[in-house]
């Protein structure tokens, strides 16, 4: 009855024309953007997903329309992706490594953006006549932000595809106390940091700002190359975004200050249950009633995982014969495929519907890289996590899961020489009930919130557009202040100088007076 009333209400609700820009640099981001488009389409909006096939091939949507821009050299992204994952199992984390950053992924993204503006200029010109009311685009690159001006879209919603990135917080003026808010990068700290941890966190935060700053300046140059030197500054355009949707959930993030125009919509659009999942999983379970699932996501080319690591993974799995281990490795990873045949309780697959598998009650543990989609899907079905982060926010997500008790961070480099550490952790997590209880608690918190993520996405999108597409009342002045003003350094430094210099001058005066009196007495 309630569903019928909702459908009737939506059918009589006025909709807007919404464009979602979705570069396919990653399958997980592609899935996320498709989910945004489909969810908004259910609210009676006319939604178009503009998909640029930078890397992954296009996928069909359920409800939103899709325009695909093709013809890209998808192999270009192999270099950028390899820079993120190739040495994930072999390189040791060094304090000094946090002072530099990789540029390959930013370079590749901007080269593809340049190609899009070259090959599809006519199509983009055609789309400018569509009179879209709203553009939604992600934060990893400003290519989508530039489309606001090309397509003449009046309203911009900037999407943080994971917890608020450091460069996004910096641009928007979001308060980020680095004493307890972990940077969204490759630093393993929680919200209770040691003195050295705070130093690491500070360095990582500003490294991320420098890295994304490098990419954003490049993107600016790409658009000026195609549309002239007077093309609007994309950094300022992003800074003036009318609303920011954060694809994180408050219970799947560290508690932190946010702004009034920063709306959390993580875990939206996830299914409560999946029909037919049991039959699907039966194919892989081999009559086992307990399953462990291993997947390091779509950005990890498993061929690059050292052979010794794969061997130790399978050895660890073999120590738990009552569990069926379903492990995702690429189709061209012949070593993993051939090796798995020697282990009775290991099934290697090159693709599997992750949400369908996680929905099955037989899955007792998910070994994952900790990408936000995987984190969300695991919590949606209350699955404990054993986390092996590779890059980016995955380190932060792993520490979050540890903090809230439903996961454990594993130092994956130990697999290069021994399986014993993994065996020990697997034994603890599979035998202890505390991880499952914590996962059930987080699941309940996420699902029972007074206003769920889908409702927030619908209501805030409609609220923004019903009010002219602009909410300047929610934009803080701090986003445009220089650092010395934002932190009141122009006040604090003179005060500090005064507090140091004035006592020193007083001491000098007193010493001179005393010396003069002594001299007078002597004479």
* Confidence at residue 273, expressed as pLDDT on a 0 to 100 scale: 57
- Does residue 8 carry a pLDDT above 60? no
In sequence order, the 6+-apart residues with CB closer than 8 A to the CB of 386 are 365, 366, 367, 368, 407, 408, 410, 425, 426, 429
Note whether 20 and 64 are within 8 A (CB): yes
Domain annotation covers residue 491: yes
* Confidence at residue 381, expressed as pLDDT on a 0 to 100 scale: 95
Average pLDDT, the chain: 90
Domain annotation covers residue 430: yes
Q: What is the mean pLDDT of residues 327-347?
A: 92
* Confidence at residue 480, expressed as pLDDT on a 0 to 100 scale: 87
If asked whether residues 298 and 252 sit together in one domain, one would say no
* Confidence at residue 95, expressed as pLDDT on a 0 to 100 scale: 67
If asked whether residues 139 and 218 sit together in one domain, one would say yes
Ramachandran bin of 90, using left for φ above 0, alpha for ψ from -120 to 50, beta for the remaining angles:
alpha
* Confidence at residue 272, expressed as pLDDT on a 0 to 100 scale: 64
Q: How confident is the model at residue 6 (pLDDT cuts 50, 70, 90)?
A: low
Q: What is the mean pLDDT of residues 366-390?
A: 94
Q: How confident is the model at residue 382 (pLDDT cuts 50, 70, 90)?
A: very high
Q: What is the CATH number of the domain that holds 354?
A: 3.40.50.2000
Provide the number of structural domains found in the chain.
3
Q: What is the mean pLDDT of residues 93-104?
A: 75
Domain annotation covers residue 7: no
DSSP 7-26: HHHHHTS---EEEEEEE-S-
Domain annotation covers residue 140: yes
Domain annotation covers residue 43: yes
Q: What is the mean pLDDT of residues 314-320?
A: 95
- Does residue 87 carry a pLDDT above 80? no
If asked whether residues 95 and 202 sit together in one domain, one would say yes
If asked whether residues 403 and 512 sit together in one domain, one would say no
Q: What is the pLDDT of residues 234-252, one digit of tens each?
A: 999 999 999 999 999 999 9
If asked whether residues 198 and 327 sit together in one domain, one would say no
The Cα–Cα gap between 258 and 396 comes to: 18
Q: How confident is the model at residue 7 (pLDDT cuts 50, 70, 90)?
A: low
* Confidence at residue 278, expressed as pLDDT on a 0 to 100 scale: 66
Supply the DSSP symbol for 427: H
- Does residue 482 carry a pLDDT above 80? yes
Strands 155-160, 134-138: pairing kind: parallel
Q: How confident is the model at residue 384 (pLDDT cuts 50, 70, 90)?
A: very high
If asked whether residues 240 and 217 sit together in one domain, one would say yes
If asked whether residues 408 and 463 sit together in one domain, one would say no
* Confidence at residue 81, expressed as pLDDT on a 0 to 100 scale: 63
Supply the DSSP symbol for 286: T
If asked whether residues 496 and 465 sit together in one domain, one would say no
Calculate ∠ Cα 461-462-465, nearest 5°: 90
Percentages (nearest 5) of helix, strand, coil residues in the chain: 50, 10, 35
Least confident of 96-105, 143-152, 258-267: 96-105
* Confidence at residue 185, expressed as pLDDT on a 0 to 100 scale: 85
If asked whether residues 121 and 245 sit together in one domain, one would say yes
The Cα–Cα gap between 296 and 327 comes to: 9
* Confidence at residue 4, expressed as pLDDT on a 0 to 100 scale: 52
Residue 325 belongs to domain spanning: 277-447
What phi, psi does 135 have (nearest 5°)? -115, 130
If asked whether residues 441 and 456 sit together in one domain, one would say no
Q: How confident is the model at residue 102 (pLDDT cuts 50, 70, 90)?
A: confident
Least confident of 82-96, 169-183, 187-201, 292-306: 82-96
- Does residue 1 carry a pLDDT above 60? no
The Cα–Cα gap between 244 and 137 comes to: 10
Domain annotation covers residue 8: no
Q: What is the mean pLDDT of residues 345-369?
A: 92
Domain annotation covers residue 412: yes
Ramachandran bin of 469, using left for φ above 0, alpha for ψ from -120 to 50, beta for the remaining angles:
left
In sequence order, the 6+-apart residues with CB closer than 8 A to the CB of 351 are 328
Q: What is the pLDDT of residues 266-294, one digit of tens each?
A: 888 776 656 556 677 777 777 788 999 99
**How much of the chain, in percent, has pLDDT values that exceed 90?**
70
If asked whether residues 287 and 380 sit together in one domain, one would say yes
If asked whether residues 204 and 101 sit together in one domain, one would say yes
Which strand ranges, in their side-by-side order, compose the sheet holding 363-368?
346-349, 324-328, 291-295, 363-368, 385-387, 407-409
Domain annotation covers residue 235: yes
Q: What is the mean pLDDT of residues 396-420?
A: 94
């Amino acid at each position: 009855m309630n569903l019928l009333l909702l459908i009737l209400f939506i059918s009589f609700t006025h909709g807007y024309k919404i464009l979602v820009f979705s570069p396919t640099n990653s399958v997980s981001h592609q899935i996320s953007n498709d989910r945004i488009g489909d969810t908004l389409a259910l609210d009676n909006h006319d939604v178009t997903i503009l998909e640029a096939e930078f890397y992954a091939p296009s996928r069909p949507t359920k409800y939103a329309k899709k325009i695909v821009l093709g013809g890209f050299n998808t192999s270009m992204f192999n270099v950028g992706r390899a820079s993120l994952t190739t040495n994930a199992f072999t390189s040791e984390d060094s304090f000094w490594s946090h002072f530099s950053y990789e540029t390959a992924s930013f370079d590749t993204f901007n080269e593809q953006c340049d190609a899009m503006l070259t090959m599809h200029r006519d199509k983009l010109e055609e789309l400018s006549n569509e009179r879209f009311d709203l553009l939604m685009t992600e934060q990893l690159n400003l290519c989508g932000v530039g489309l606001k001006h090309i397509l003449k879209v009046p309203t911009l919603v900037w999407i943080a595809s994971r917890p608020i990135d450091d460069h996004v917080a910096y641009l928007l003026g979001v308060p980020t106390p680095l004493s307890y808010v972990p940077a969204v990068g490759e630093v393993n700290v929680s919200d209770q940091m040691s003195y050295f941890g705070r130093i690491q966190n500070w360095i990582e935060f500003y490294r991320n700002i420098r890295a994304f700053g490098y990419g954003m300046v490049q993107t600016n140059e790409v658009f000026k190359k195609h549309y002239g030197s007077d093309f609007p500054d994309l950094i300022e355009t992003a800074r003036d975004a009318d609303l920011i949707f954060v694809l994180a959930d408050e219970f799947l993030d560290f508690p932190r200050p946010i702004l009034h125009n920063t709306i959390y919509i993580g875990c939206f659009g996830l299914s409560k249950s999946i029909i037919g999942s049991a039959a699907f999983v039966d194919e892989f379970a081999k009559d086992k009633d307990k399953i462990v699932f291993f997947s390091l996501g779509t950005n990890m080319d498993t061929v690059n995982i050292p052979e010794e690591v794969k061997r130790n993974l399978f050895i660890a799995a073999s120590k738990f014969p009552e569990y069926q281990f379903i492990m995702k490795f690429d189709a061209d990873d012949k070593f993993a495929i051939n090796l798995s045949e020697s282990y009775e309780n290991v099934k290697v697959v090159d693709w599997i519907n992750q949400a369908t598998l996680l929905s099955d009650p037989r899955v007792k543990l998910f070994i994952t890289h900790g990408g936000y989609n995987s984190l969300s899907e695991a919590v949606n079905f209350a699955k404990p996590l054993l986390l092996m982060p590779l890059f980016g926010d995955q380190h932060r997500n792993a520490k979050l899961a540890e903090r809230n008790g439903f996961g454990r961070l594993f130092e994956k480099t130990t697999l290069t020489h021994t399986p014993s550490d993994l065996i020990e952790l697997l034994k603890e997590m599979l035998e202890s009930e505390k991880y499952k209880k914590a996962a059930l608690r987080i699941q309940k918190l996420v699902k029972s919130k007074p206003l769920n993520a889908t409702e927030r996405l619908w209501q805030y999108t409609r609220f923004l557009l019903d009010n002219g597409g602009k909410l300047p009342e929610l934009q803080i002045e701090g986003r445009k202040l220089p650092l010395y003003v934002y932190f009141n350094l122009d006040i604090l430094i003179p005060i500090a100088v005064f507090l140091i210099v004035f006592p020193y001058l007083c001491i000098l005066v007193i010493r001179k007076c005393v010396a003069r009196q002594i001299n007078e007495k002597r004479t």
